[in-house]
Amino acid sequence: MPALRSMRWLGAIVLVLAVLLAWLQYRLWVGHGGAREVQDLAEQVHQQQRDNGGLKQRNAEVAAEVEDLKSGEAAVEERARSELGMIKPGETFYRVVEPASTATADEAPAADPAETPQ
């Protein structure tokens, strides 16, 4: 009889340990803070680092452009010419307009009075 009781206790302990092991495995792989969640967070961190790298590069380009605009007139003049269409006094502005691809060679585009040289 004493051997039978010890067998029951041993079986109960093995059952409790098996349940505990199953519960711990569940928590490790699926539960809160488990391996899957850690892997997802690592991927999010990696994606954010790539995004930050691109934004840092863009910020450096903008900072260089700001420094260029602060330090010299040439950059301001170039920007005024290209973006605002400004010209210096005494200069003549010419605009070259490519003919439309559907127009034939003997059709001349009509002149726009607003585009006359100054």
Q: How far apart, in whole angstroms, are the C-alpha atoms of residue 23 and residue 12?
A: 16
For CA atoms 57, 61, 63, 64, the dihedral sign is positive
What's residue 65's pLDDT?
A: 84
Distances (CA, A) of 70 to 60, 75, 76, 84: 15, 9, 9, 18
Q: Give the pLDDT band (50/70/90) at residue 80.
A: confident
Comparison of pLDDT for 112 and 54, the residue scoring more = 54
Query: What integer pLDDT is reported at residue 96 of this predicted model?
Result: 86
Mean pLDDT, all residues of the chain: 81
pTM higher than the cut 0.85: no
Question: What's the pLDDT tens digit per position in 58-77?
Answer: 999 999 888 877 887 877 78
- Most confident of the ranges 22-26, 27-31, 57-61, 106-110: 57-61
